[in-house]
Amino acid sequence: MAPVSGRLHIVSGKGGVGKTLIATALARQFAERGEKTLLVDLSDAGAPAGALGVAPAYVPQPVTESLHIARLDARESVKEYVKRKMSFSFAYRGLLENSAVQKFLDALPLFDELMALGKLYDHVTSAQSTYQRVVFDAPATGHAKLLLNVPAVAVDTLKAGPIYDSAGKILQLLRDPERCELIVAALPEETPVREALELVEDARERLGIRCERVILNRCIESCFAADERKVIAAMPSSSKRWAALLNESIADQQAEQARRLAAASINITRVNECTSRQPGVVLEQLVRQL
């Protein structure tokens, strides 16, 4: 196998924090630097399509010369694998369309997840792949923890065989800090930050994946200088009803959440709140700020 040259950037976080737009912005940023980049989605809905204007498919689709988009599909991965191993197309089509085979695949625990990760591995490491960066828009926190733990479970359970070998290669990639990192998306609020901290801890302690960066989305900047903030702090709460003062209170609360992350030795990237409801406008702002 050719030396691994690509790098994998996995983006996860609590649902509703803007994870997909952040993953898309990261992919756009790499591509604009001239690095050939693939944005990979696990969702059947093709979530990044709204911002990029291109629907992901199993075969990577071009957005620009440097940016492509694709969707992981476990069953398509099985077909691709079997096709490589069998000489005649009618044979593998018949095999995979067999109802008994379908039921067998459905019954295998974690099989779909492992096949999806196997295709992600190919996008990063295959000799046929030309991508320097692969950005994986992973599922939300809970599902991501399960998904990223699948290779370790397979290695511990199977002990030998082709699936064991594949799981071992995926696990090696995920645990290589030079090639793979987990980036956590969050809002500067208590619950998303708590989930972010839990995901960072899980990545470091159990999954063995490098995780040093949290992107805080929809942040509000302070409107006042340090001396003005002291005056505001001394004001009675009944006076703090104007919009600017309300924003200042929110900014203080967000700063406290950022301090919780910093205490865990996490690099924080703050992204200011965008008032536009157009995905393209929000995406452009994210690209500029990341």
Distinct helix (H) and strand (E) counts, the chain: 12, 8
In a domain, 238, yes or no: no
Specify the pLDDT at position 179: 96
Tally the domains of the chain.
1
Average pLDDT taken over every residue of the chain: 82
Element (H, E) at 11: strand 7-13
Specify the pLDDT at position 285: 86
Specify the pLDDT at position 142: 93
In a domain, 236, yes or no: no
Specify the pLDDT at position 44: 55
Task: Give me the sheet containing 180-186, strands edge to edge.
Answer: 61-62, 67-71, 37-41, 133-137, 7-13, 180-186, 213-219, 267-272
Residue 28: both structure tokens together: 């756009």
Specify the pLDDT at position 85: 57
In a domain, 41, yes or no: yes
Specify the pLDDT at position 246: 45
In a domain, 83, yes or no: yes
In terms of DSSP bridges, do strands 267-272 and 213-219 run parallel, antiparallel, or are they unpaired?
Answer: parallel
Q: What CATH number does the domain containing 81 carry?
A: 3.40.50.300
pTM as predicted? 0.84
In a domain, 231, yes or no: no
Overall average pLDDT of the 142-170 stretch: 90
In a domain, 21, yes or no: yes
CA distance 230 to 248: 12
Residue 209: both structure tokens together: 């994946």
Specify the pLDDT at position 213: 96
The model's pLDDT over 2-47, given as tens digits with 9 standing for 90+, comes to 333 579 999 999 999 999 999 999 999 999 999 999 999 986 554 5
In a domain, 258, yes or no: no
Specify the pLDDT at position 100: 45
The model's pLDDT over 104-122, given as tens digits with 9 standing for 90+, comes to 445 455 778 888 999 999 9
In a domain, 251, yes or no: no
Exposed e or buried b for every residue in 49-79, given b needs 16+ CB within 10 A? Answer: bbbbebebeeebbebeebbbbbbbbbebbbb
The model's pLDDT over 78-106, given as tens digits with 9 standing for 90+, comes to 777 666 655 545 444 554 455 544 554 45
Q: 68 forms bridges with which residues in the sheet? A: 38, 62
Specify the pLDDT at position 275: 75
Domain of 161, in residue numbers: 7-221+267-289
